[in-house]
Amino acid sequence: MMILATLTNAGKTDSYIFGSSAEYNKVINNPENEIKYELELCLHGKTYEEKQKQAREIAVEYSWALCDEIKPLSWGESAIVSGWFENVGKRYGLLREFRENAIC
């Protein structure tokens, strides 16, 4: 599981990728940090169709958030997110759709 979050600390707003919920919780428990946006990159569901639908919804939310909520990510962070969408796209038959929409 990964979490993409935009945080404000001392007037400075940045976006980060957290590799685990423990890492994320450690940062958000700091009272100086204010959460502006968060997106969990993790699929939940029992069936292939449920996970496929959720993957598509996450991709749509991510593409909208890039315009408004997410501050520029580093090249490395962008590669991590793109890799996650590429793996999910392959697994759930969405790779062509994700590539056409510049998700990965």
Average pLDDT over residues 46-52: 97
Enter the pTM of the model: 0.90
Average pLDDT over residues 12-19: 94
Quote the number of domains for the chain.
1
* Residue 37 belongs to domain spanning: 2-100
Average pLDDT over residues 10-29: 92
**Angstrom distances, CA of residue 89 to CA of 6, 40, 47, 93, 96:** 24, 16, 16, 6, 8
**Angstrom distances, CA of residue 20 to CA of 39, 42, 47, 54, 70:** 13, 11, 24, 20, 19
Q: Between 92 and 21, name the one with better pLDDT.
A: 92
Q: What is the mean pLDDT of the chain?
A: 94
pLDDT of residue 68: 87
